[in-house]
């Protein structure tokens, strides 16, 4: 399944079982439609919680406002809350992330400089 949306906040990394890390984030998907017999366009925003288990370092690129295309599957959790009411949540288990647009040029410049700095550090580690 594929979904595309903008991050609602910076991604966070959580440690699970002291040996695995998961990147958690939420995206907003904007949509609109015109009800039958109406001239007014209705705007709809859907928020989806996402998790990414493959590479925790990806979180550094997932900043608020970033437009991403995600591939994965939907998972569902059901539990009883503190009042004893059954609650269900959906999570998009992401297995591939494609960044389409960064939110600002400043963020892109910072990301590019971080990559360049990392490459230059590697070049300095070469013994010859």
- Which pLDDT value is given to residue 90? 86
pLDDT at residue 42, as a whole number: 93
> Taking a C-beta distance cutoff of 8 angstroms, is the pair 66, 109 a contact?
no
Distance of alpha carbon 120 from alpha carbon 12, whole angstroms: 27
Q: How does pLDDT run along the chain (128 residues), one tens digit per residue?
A: 999 999 999 999 999 988 899 999 999 999 999 999 889 999 999 999 999 999 999 999 999 999 999 999 999 989 999 999 999 888 999 999 999 999 876 654 555 565 555 555 444 554 43
**How much is the pLDDT for 117?**
57
DSSP three-state, residue 113: helix
What pLDDT, on a 0 to 100 scale, did the predictor assign at position 122? 47
pLDDT, residue 111, reads 54
Enter the tokens of residue 39.
Answer: 């001239």
Cα–Cα distance for residue pair 99/65, rounded to 1 Å: 11
* CB-based contact 82:51 (threshold 8 Å): no
pLDDT score, position 112: 57
Domains of the chain, with CATH numbers? 2-103 (2.40.50.140)
* Residue 118 burial (CB count, 10 A): 10
């Amino acid at each position: 399944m594929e979904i595309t949306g903008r991050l609602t906040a910076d991604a966070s990394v959580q440690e699970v079982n002291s040996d695995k890390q998961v990147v958690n984030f939420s995206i907003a998907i904007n949509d609109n439609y015109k009800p039958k017999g109406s001239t007014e366009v209705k705007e709809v925003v859907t928020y989806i919680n996402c998790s990414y288990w493959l590479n925790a370092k990806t979180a550094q690129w997932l900043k608020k406002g970033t437009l991403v295309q995600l591939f994965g599957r939907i998972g569902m959790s059901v539990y009883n809350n503190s009042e004893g009411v059954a609650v269900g949540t959906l999570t998009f288990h992401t297995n591939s992330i494609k960044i389409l647009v960064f939110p600002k040029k400043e963020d892109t410049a910072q990301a590019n400089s971080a990559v360049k700095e990392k490459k230059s550090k590697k070049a300095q580690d070469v013994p010859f």
